[in-house]
Amino acid sequence: MRRLEKELIRINRFVAMSGVCSRRKADLLIKEGKVSVNNKTIYEVGVKVSAEDVVCFNGKQIFPEKKRYFLLNKPSGYITTTNDEKGRKTVMTLIKDACKERIVPVGRLDKETTGLLLFTNDGILAKKMMHPKHKVKKVYDVCLNRNMLDIEIEAIRHGIVLEDGVVHVDKIEYINNSRQNIRIKIHIGKNRIVRRIFEFFNYKVLKLDRVEYASLTKKKLSIGKWRVLTKGELIVLHRNN
């Protein structure tokens, strides 16, 4: 059996780590009696197992998957979800050949938003990357329908009040002295927050591109392409999060 951490872990996490499904779905499968440990069917999601235990799903032994990490430069026109009932294009089609393990996107990008999107089967890291307390950095390049005013830039720097509260950005500046092209750095993760910041001043966002995510950048990554994270990048991500 592949090596797992030495301490005991909850059975729902083990099932999720094997790539069968998400941890929430694993809870349901366990309660339905589809998971066994050492030839004994279990129904309690709180049961813990070790590396020496034989865990089976539907009678077939399962093993924890190798952790996988991929970075995609998402193009416009794809929604960030693992599946879509309406048949729309999802980001999963862009990365379907990356590995055999079940990976999912970390966080979301709007359908028309482009840029960096992380995929992994490491649920612990994914949860940390999305938790507000870790203040993960995100940098976006924004193209507006008209030039922005300096007074509005200053207002954003000092904080503006949207319908769900006060919004503070880490940094905002013009790109190459173009008042129509703005670079904004944030760590907050509110829904559609970048678009809503500019819509507050009645601007229309023509293009929105995430150019940095945590310590990751788009360097040498073409639009629509993906790559495996380097060992150095993983060390930084785990250390900082």
Residue numbers annotated as active site: 110
Q: Which amino acid is at 97?
A: D
Cβ proximity of 61 and 55 under 8 Å: yes
Instruction: Supply φ then ψ for residue 12, to 5 degrees.
Output: -65, -35
Cβ proximity of 9 and 3 under 8 Å: no
Mapping DSSP to helix (H, G, I), strand (E, B) and coil, where does residue 169 land?
coil
Structure token digits, residue 224 = 């629509």
List, in sequence order, every beta strand (DSSP E) within the chain. Answer: 9-10, 35-37, 40-41, 48-49, 55-57, 60-61, 69-74, 104-105, 114-120, 138-144, 160-162, 165-167, 171-175, 178-186, 205-213, 216-217, 226-228
How far apart, in whole angstroms, are the C-alpha atoms of residue 125 and residue 47? Answer: 23
How far apart, in whole angstroms, are the C-alpha atoms of residue 214 and residue 237? Answer: 7
Taking alpha carbons only, the member of 54, 71, 75 closest to residue 63 is 54
How far apart, in whole angstroms, are the C-alpha atoms of residue 59 and residue 48? Answer: 19
